Amino acid sequence: MLFSFGREHRRERQRGHAVVEVACLSPWIFFLFAGTFDMGMYGYALISTENAARAAAVYTSASTSTAGDNAKACQYALAEMSSVPNLRGISTCSAYPLKVTAESKAGIDGATASEVTVTYQTPQLIPIPGLMGRMIVNRKVQMRCRQ
């Protein structure tokens, strides 16, 4: 009888240790989750910005007359980045959080090329001191015009 009482007493002490361990590790688990979430959103912003620059460059490289069409390049970039946070309701691409420029240049082979630059400023998702807040992503794509 005395032996079983000691075993139950030991189990209660172990349960207490588990609660203390979870309480000590909870902040670390939260910061790990928040950091993973932030890094995922920054990675998504990088991919979306690259895709927006590529889509706008495909349009502007259709001919030499569209090589410097900023308005249409902006529309293509906005369509490509429609699911990115902080771009809902934006219709221009001349100021942050999204800047798009398209210009006609001489390509590496001397032929006319279109160069599209897309710059995106991410929102600050979870304000944790010491971690980066906003990130500016800049992507540049150059394509030869089909003439």
Domain that holds residue 26: 2-144
pLDDT digits 0-9 by tens, 90-121: 999 999 999 999 999 999 899 999 999 999 99
Instruction: Give the C-alpha separation, 117 to 133, whole Å.
Output: 23
**Total domains, the chain:** 1
Q: Is the dihedral of CA 124, 126, 130, 131 positive or negative?
A: negative
pLDDT tens-digit readout, 4-35: 555 666 665 556 788 888 899 999 998 888 88
pTM: 0.79
In what helix (H) or strand (E) does residue 107 lie, and over which residues does it extend? none
Query: Nearest Cα to 45, choosing from 121, 117, 125?
Result: 121
| CA dist 57 → 6, 12, 15 (Å) | 75, 66, 61
